[in-house]
Amino acid sequence: MRDRPQPARKNTAGDFDQAVELRGMPEDGRSPNNLPLQLTSFVGRVRELAKFEELLADHRLLTLTGPGGSGKTRLALTAASAMAEDFEDGIRLVELAPLSDPDLVPQAAASVLGVRGTPGTPLVDSLFLHLESREILLVVDNCEHLVDACASLAETMPGAAHPGDQPGGVRRAW
């Protein structure tokens, strides 16, 4: 059987009386989250996790920077997993490490989101329409070699503006 990525489980040791409600599978049959299962515990960085959640409440785009191997990806995945219940339509990870062609960045996002292009319509427009009515967190990893393409994609996405700039103040992130 093929492995399916799972969100990291919250530590519920000792919480035997707590019921956990799991969302059903979406209509398209895709899991709302594709975060990889974390096989080791996450230790420390409580301040960074809190700051991540605080910043995401006020901003639609966050960028984690630092030297390779400093734990940016692990921090982002842990924070995203902890916030899974905050995003009705889930959390999706777009991994860009295998890409070398900047023109493939929108295709990578579309593939992860299950968005199919329409002939005669730019793929970024299809992505915009797909994300426009959803509350989703899109985690894009390994952007450093495709910075311009990622920035261009970010500029076209709904919810990239502050929530107060959106009709009804709808909370969206990507």
How many residues belong to the chain?
Answer: 174
- Give the mean pLDDT of 57-83: 89
Q: pTM to 2 decimals?
A: 0.72
**pLDDT of 174 higher than 60:** no
**Mean pLDDT for all residues in the chain:** 79
Of 5-14, 22-31, 105-114, which range is least confident?
Answer: 5-14
Q: Report how far residue 75's alpha carbon sits from residue 100's, in angstroms, rounded to the nearest whole number.
A: 24
**pLDDT of 9 higher than 60:** no
Predicted confidence (pLDDT) per residue in 79-134, tens digit = 999 888 889 999 999 999 999 999 999 999 999 999 998 899 999 999 999 988 88
Closest CA to 123 of 137, 144, 108: 108
Q: Give the residue extent of every domain in the chain.
A: 46-169
DSSP 119: T
Indicate the pLDDT class of residue 30, thresholds 50, 70 and 90: low
What number does CATH give the domain 46-169?
3.40.50
